[in-house]
Amino acid sequence: LAAIGIDNARQYKRSGQLRSLFELHVNKQVTDYVLARSDRATPFLHGERREVTMLNSDIAGFSALMQRMEAEELVDFLNHYFERMIDVVLAHGGNIDKFQGDGMLVVFGAPNPMTDHAAQALKAARGMVREIDRLNRELIDAGQPGISVGIGLDTGYVVMGHVGSERRLEFTLIGVPVNTSSYLSKVRPARVLMSETTRDLLPAGFEVTDYEPMLL
């Protein structure tokens, strides 16, 4: 019985270590969602439709920035930048869907539902802007140029679930808000832009400025 107890303790510790490692690669919300619904008999999660707010970010002029940096320097810069952005996003309940080079795709309202996903997404965007300002002051003090980041927000229905095969699966989001938020993040000069759908869901007290109409 003692040997079984020791073995169980070791297995539990190993399981905890693997879960912690897994959560470095997959957001904790997704980890909990997948583990609660998957087993050996049902590795695929069926699609689920959910209203969410998507946040997409994109560093302006990143290609030129990449050419000026050594590979190790570039990775260090991105990790330092993302560390700040991730802390802000997670503080507002966002789920990081993926990193795309210098870009970051975040969803508010999936897999964990949120009733105030539009407001939380805008709060996160504002928090990101404040962190970018602090980062730019540090860069300028070090004799390096600052950066500008475009952030796009759009609200609507997406389908979330597993895409792939039995050999390689990815939990992903599919829908118009994913594409629209990406488009808005690439409008230059870089700024925070939201769709009318997102604006209409904001509670009273949020100050926003109208922008010229765009054909997406």
Torsion, Cα 89 93 98 102, to 10 degrees, reads -10
187-203 tens-digit pLDDT: 999 999 999 999 999 99
Helices and strands counted in the chain (H then E): 7, 6
Q: Is the pTM of this model over 0.85?
A: no
6-43 tens-digit pLDDT: 676 677 666 666 656 555 556 667 667 666 666 666 66
Beta strands in 66-206 (DSSP E): 95-100, 103-108, 149-164, 169-174, 192-194
| Cβ 121 vs Cβ 55: under 8 Å | yes
Q: How far apart are CA 149 and CA 168, in angstroms?
A: 32
Comparing 25-34, 100-109, 180-189, the range with the smallest average pLDDT is 25-34
139-163 tens-digit pLDDT: 999 988 899 999 999 999 999 887 7
Give residue 54's pLDDT: 98
Give the residue-averaged pLDDT of 97-110: 92
43-91 tens-digit pLDDT: 666 778 999 999 999 999 888 888 888 989 999 999 999 999 999 999 9
